[in-house]
Structure 1
Amino acid sequence: MGRNKFSEEQQIQLRSNPFIEKVSETTISYTKEFKERFHHEYQTGKGPSAILSDMGIDPTLLGEKRRSSLVQRIKEYASRIDGYQDLRGKNSGRPSTKELTDVDRIKRLEHQIRYLKQENEFLKKTEFLDRQAEWQENQKQRQKKNSDTSKK
């Protein structure tokens, strides 16, 4: 069973709506404001098709499956700590294969430098603490030896 794909005309129509962030042939991303408003109106008893129509989105364009999954996702967003925030770009996962601009590459490298500096500081501190603990252990052993020899 195939997925319902958006035609070029449908994509253009959807992109013109201020509540839609991105549209591709198979996916659609909504703004945070859309998700909040949709949830609020759904909680008041309004149906998904009526809410979409009020927001300027043709419900028949989305289809039954997308409408029902939209309701489910909005409910999940509402129960999350992060709320309606889109977290997809913040998750680490498979490395990006797209070509980066010089500005993006510099930002990424600066972030990597900050991360490595922080990691080095952490390692220095743990090494120092390990040496300090070892020194204290050696001191205890010396004191024990000294007290044992003085008792004899």
Structure 2
Amino acid sequence: MDRVIYSAEQIKALLINPNVAKCSSKSVSYRKEFKVRVVKEYYEQGFGPNAIFQKAGFDLNIIGRDKPKNCLKLWRKIYKAKGEQGLNTESRGRNGGRRPKDKESADIEYLQTKIAYLEAENIFLRNLKTKTKN
């Protein structure tokens, strides 16, 4: 997959579109409402990704012909898993790359159990070693 590098003129053209939240030379961030609308149009009206993006005012020569398909694929996955709220929530950078608390506590509990088991095993082996010496 080739990464698109947007020129200053292309960035300016993309930022004019009301469906774009922000844009850099390497990425385009779309408004949350746009994501929801695109997924609903896809499911309810049966439009294809390129048609939806063109109707929304995007030039496929700028964003790339595969971009609508890839975006819609990701957004549909999020929509199926978390519903409309999932598309309205920004998930990048949350928790500073750490797992949520409940997962961390489960991991800690597992590791504590493993430590207790290994300590018991060490005691058993130590006792076994002292019995064989006598």
| TM-score by shorter chain over 0.5 | yes
Q: Secondary structure at the match of 1:3?
A: coil
Corresponding residue for residue 23 of structure 1: 23
| 1:67-99 alpha-carbon deviations (Å, 9 max, x no partner) | 2211111102212323212323661226xxxxx
Bigger relative contact order, structure 1 or 2 (CA pairs below 8 A, ≥6 apart): 2
Structure 1 residues 90 and 7, CA gap change in structure 2 (3 angstroms): closer
| 1:40-77 alpha-carbon deviations (Å, 9 max, x no partner) | 11112111111111111112221133222111111022
Q: Secondary structure at the match of 2:36?
A: helix
Corresponding residue for residue 87 of structure 1: 90
Question: Take 2:73 and 2:48, find their aligned partners in 1: how far apart are those partners?
Answer: 13
Q: Secondary structure at the match of 1:50?
A: helix
Question: Take 1:34 and 1:57, find their aligned partners in 2: how far apart are those partners?
Answer: 12
Question: Take 1:68 and 1:54, find their aligned partners in 2: how far apart are those partners?
Answer: 14
Alignment RMSD, CA only? 1.9
Q: Secondary structure at the match of 2:86?
A: coil
Question: Take 1:80 and 1:8, find their aligned partners in 2: how far apart are those partners?
Answer: 36
Corresponding residue for residue 114 of structure 2: none
For residue 23 of structure 1, report the CA deviation from its aligned partner.
0.4
AA of the residue aligned to 2:65: E
Please give the TM-score of this superposition, normalised by the length of structure 2. Answer: 0.62
After superposing on structure 2, the runs of 4+ consecutive aligned residues of structure 1 that deviate more than 6 Å are none
Corresponding residue for residue 125 of structure 2: none
Corresponding residue for residue 64 of structure 1: 65
Question: Take 1:35 and 1:23, find their aligned partners in 2: how far apart are those partners?
Answer: 15
Q: Is the 8 A contact 2:50 2:65 kept in 1?
A: no
Corresponding residue for residue 34 of structure 2: 34
Please give the TM-score of this superposition, normalised by the length of structure 1. Answer: 0.55
Structure 1 unmatched ranges of 5 or more: 95-152
